[in-house]
């Protein structure tokens, strides 16, 4: 099966420092791929590289193949035909992403005007249908409302409606439930799953929440300091993580042990991209690190079927 989306050695560089450093992955039609890691791991910058919308001072490298076409090789005019129309992005904070002085109907219609051939009446009808699709009651009456009249969960639904305006084949969701309470999180996750099933979209879901990954995704990649350190099916990776960083992330999730048991934590913090250590970037925080870990950058290697790990000691750690 040919991937719908394929990243080949993608990088996002700020001078000599790389926020995304040689990321390669694939996504198949109708699949939900999870991307997990701490803040500063390069998840959001990777999504911006796919959209060809990095920060102004950043330099992109590698190839982003969308349905066989390299987006990195497209001119900006051609890329505008892909961005928003074929690939859409939901950002982290809907309250800042939306324009506070414009009604939400105007903002949806603007997207429809840019990416469809609908006339004025058709755009209004489509905007109402989109709000209804994402579960906003009395959609026709809400078109004239400004963002401050909506709750956080409703604003996130509006963002999803705007992203779906042109019925894209790929939805990039950058921590879409971060600022929401658990009840609204559940509603948004159910909505994304329902939309995938109804519209046949593929989704790349960036999050720091392993519970969300476990519930929603078929496959997952784990990023640390701009690199993928482990990837595989959710079932395989969660049942038997091979990288010490992935093990640390899973161990930090509250489990079913003693009610007063201490939560596990990974010591230290993710390094700044300009201060990334030599060798494996995780070695200063890794209890299993040995001298070879400081000398060379580990590459993703097959650990078992549909499971890759970038750790020089993963075989030894499994035996131990």
| Cα–Cα dist 164/68, whole Å | 22
* Inside any domain, residue 166: yes
Query: Do 148 and 279 sit in the same domain of this protein?
Result: no
Query: Of 23, 272, 263, 314, whose CA–CA distance to 284 is shortest?
Result: 272
Query: Do 19 and 114 sit in the same domain of this protein?
Result: yes
pLDDT at 257: 55
| Average pLDDT for the chain | 90
Question: Cα separations (Å) of 57 from 10, 30, 54, 64, 310?
Answer: 17, 34, 8, 20, 29
Distance of CA 132 to the CA centre of its chain: 25
Query: Do 156 and 275 sit in the same domain of this protein?
Result: no
Query: Do 14 and 134 sit in the same domain of this protein?
Result: yes
pLDDT at 256: 53
Query: Of 240, 204, 175, 239, whose CA–CA distance to 39 is shortest?
Result: 175
* Inside any domain, residue 58: yes
21-37: pLDDT as tens digits? 999 999 999 999 999 99
CATH of the domain at 24: 3.40.50.300
Query: Do 130 and 62 sit in the same domain of this protein?
Result: yes
How many percent of the chain have pLDDT more than 70?
97
237-282: pLDDT as tens digits? 999 999 999 999 998 887 655 666 677 888 888 899 999 999 999 9
pLDDT at 215: 87
* Inside any domain, residue 9: yes
Residue at which a domain ends, from 217, 245, 278: 217
| Cα–Cα dist 167/205, whole Å | 17
- Please state the rounded mean pLDDT for residues 271-300: 92
Query: Do 79 and 199 sit in the same domain of this protein?
Result: yes
> Among 84-88, 92-96, 288-292, which is the least confidently predicted range?
92-96
Looking up tokens 């970037």, which residue turns up?
Answer: 281
Half-sphere exposure of 87 (CA within 13 A, CB side): 24
Angle at 208 between CA 177 and CA 277, to 5 degrees: 145
pLDDT at 30: 92
What is the residue range of 314's domain?
227-254+263-319
Query: Do 240 and 190 sit in the same domain of this protein?
Result: no
* Inside any domain, residue 222: no
Query: Do 200 and 294 sit in the same domain of this protein?
Result: no
- pLDDT-derived band at 3 (thresholds 50, 70, 90) equals very high
pLDDT at 79: 94
90-138: pLDDT as tens digits? 887 777 889 999 999 999 999 899 888 899 999 999 999 999 888 889 9
How many percent of the chain have pLDDT more than 90?
60
* Inside any domain, residue 298: yes
Query: Do 27 and 112 sit in the same domain of this protein?
Result: yes
pLDDT at 265: 82
Query: Do 48 and 19 sit in the same domain of this protein?
Result: yes
Query: Do 60 and 83 sit in the same domain of this protein?
Result: yes
Query: Do 72 and 178 sit in the same domain of this protein?
Result: yes
154-166: pLDDT as tens digits? 898 898 888 888 8
- pTM, whole model, 2 decimals? 0.90
- Please state the rounded mean pLDDT for residues 214-236: 95
> Among 2-6, 137-141, 151-155, 202-206, which is the least confidently predicted range?
151-155
Task: Give the total number of structural domains in the chain.
Answer: 2
């Amino acid at each position: 099966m040919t991937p719908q989306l394929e990243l080949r050695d993608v990088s996002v560089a700020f001078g000599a420092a790389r926020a995304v450093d040689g990321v390669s992955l694939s996504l198949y039609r109708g699949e939900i791929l999870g991307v997990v890691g701490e803040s500063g791991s390069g998840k959001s910058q990777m999504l911006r590289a796919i959209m060809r919308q990095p920060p102004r001072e950043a330099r992109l490298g590698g190839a982003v193949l969308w349905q066989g076409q390299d987006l990195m090789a497209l001119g900006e005019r051609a890329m505008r035909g892909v961005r928003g129309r074929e690939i859409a992005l939901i950002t982290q904070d809907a309250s800042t992403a939306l324009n506070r002085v414009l009604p939400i109907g105007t903002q949806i219609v603007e997207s429809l005007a840019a990416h469809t051939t609908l006339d004025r009446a058709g755009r209004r009808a489509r905007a109402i249908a989109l709000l209804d699709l994402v579960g906003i009651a009395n959609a026709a009456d809400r078109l004239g409302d400004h963002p401050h009249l909506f709750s956080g969960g409703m604003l996130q639904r509006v963002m999803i409606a705007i992203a779906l305006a042109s019925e894209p084949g790929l939805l990039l969701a950058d921590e879409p439930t971060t600022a929401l309470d658990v009840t609204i999180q559940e509603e948004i996750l159910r909505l994304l799953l329902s939309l995938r099933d109804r519209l046949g979209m593929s989704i790349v879901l960036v999050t720091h929440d392993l519970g969300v990954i476990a519930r929603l995704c078929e496959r997952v990649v784990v990023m640390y300091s701009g690199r993928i350190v482990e990837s595989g099916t959710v079932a395989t990776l969660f049942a038997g993580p091979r990288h010490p960083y992935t093990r640390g992330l899973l161990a930090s999730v509250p489990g079913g042990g003693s009610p007063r048991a201490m939560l596990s934590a990974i010591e230290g913090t993710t390094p700044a991209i300009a201060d990334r250590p030599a060798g494996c970037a995780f070695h200063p925080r890794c209890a299993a690190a040995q001298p070879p870990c400081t000398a060379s950058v580990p590459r993703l290697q097959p650990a078992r079927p549909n499971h890759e790990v970038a750790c020089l000691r993963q075989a030894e750690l499994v035996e131990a």
